């Protein structure tokens, strides 16, 4: 059983969802909204079952009017997602897109048209050979001078997978243990998100969530920032 705290109730509600339930997905996912000329620009999105909230990266605040319905604002995207991610910049089909995952399938969201690309959903095993189904969390790796630069990361249980955006292939040697290469992060993550551009200390950072705790990963330094994990309730007002 996977326990987490719903961030949409007026109080902190403990919920338990069995992986592979009839509804599918663990219900929690997060993604950066990318760069565009529409309201999704430089925003973070947090999905919980059938609803979501939008968080402004630049000022670290939740936008007004949330939570909102996924079905009404992301037509064609299902509820109870497993994971989602912003796919960064590349010369191929990944460029400035959002991918959403649930059970054995995935969907691709076009940031410019603000709708699903045609032909989706598709099977993970066909579009992402080497990745498992029922992913725990996924995140864009941000920009750095290291081998993590402009990569996509997928987490499941105690392992993670690294995807090369330009080559559109799983990097050799994966999966690997989270404990060996992401020191300080727990196994069995709920969700993860790239924080985008900000004048504050969220700039080009990765955030990992499990229960009511979160960890901030410093992309340049390749480590968890000091004094983490912290409380989601206290540091992300309105999420929980």
Q: Name the class of domain 2-235.
A: mainly beta
Percent of the chain predicted with pLDDT > 70: 80
pLDDT tops 90 at residue 51: yes
Taking residues 128-146, report their average pLDDT.
89
- Residue 124, φ and ψ in degrees, nearest 5: -60, -40
pLDDT tops 60 at residue 124: yes
pLDDT tops 90 at residue 210: yes
- pLDDT at position 93 is 75
Query: How is the chain split into domains, by residue range?
Result: 2-235
- Residue 16, φ and ψ in degrees, nearest 5: -130, 130
Q: For residue 217, give Cα distances in angstroms to 15, 188, 195, 206, 221.
A: 27, 17, 10, 5, 8
Taking residues 45-67, report their average pLDDT.
86
pLDDT tops 70 at residue 52: yes
- pLDDT at position 40 is 64
Helix (H, G, I), strand (E, B) or coil at 10: coil
- pLDDT at position 136 is 97
pLDDT tops 70 at residue 199: no
Among 199, 238, 193, CA closest to 219: 193
């Amino acid at each position: 059983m996977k326990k987490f705290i719903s961030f949409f109730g007026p109080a902190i509600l403990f919920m338990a969802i069995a992986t592979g339930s009839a509804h599918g997905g663990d219900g929690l996912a997060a993604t950066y909204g990318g760069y565009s000329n529409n309201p999704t620009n430089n925003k973070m999105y947090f999905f919980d079952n059938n609803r979501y909230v939008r968080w402004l990266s630049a000022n670290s605040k939740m936008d007004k009017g949330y939570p909102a319905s996924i079905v009404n604002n992301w037509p064609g995207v299902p509820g109870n997602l497993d994971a989602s991610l912003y796919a960064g910049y590349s010369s191929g089909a990944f460029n400035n897109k959002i991918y959403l995952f649930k059970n054995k399938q995935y969907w691709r969201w076009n940031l410019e048209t603000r709708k699903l690309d045609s032909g989706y959903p598709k099977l993970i095993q066909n579009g992402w050979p080497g990745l498992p189904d029922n992913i725990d969390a996924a995140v864009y790796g941000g920009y750095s001078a290291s081998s993590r630069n402009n990569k996509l990361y997928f987490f499941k249980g105690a392992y993670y997978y690294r995807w090369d955006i330009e080559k559109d292939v799983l990097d050799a040697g994966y999966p690997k243990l989270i404990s060996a290469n992401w020191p300080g992060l727990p196994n069995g993550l709920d969700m993860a998100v790239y924080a985008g551009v900000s004048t504050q200390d969220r700039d080009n950072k990765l955030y990992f969530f499990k229960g009511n705790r979160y960890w901030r990963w410093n992309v340049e330094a390749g480590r968890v920032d000091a004094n983490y994990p912290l409380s989601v309730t206290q540091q992300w007002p309105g999420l929980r």
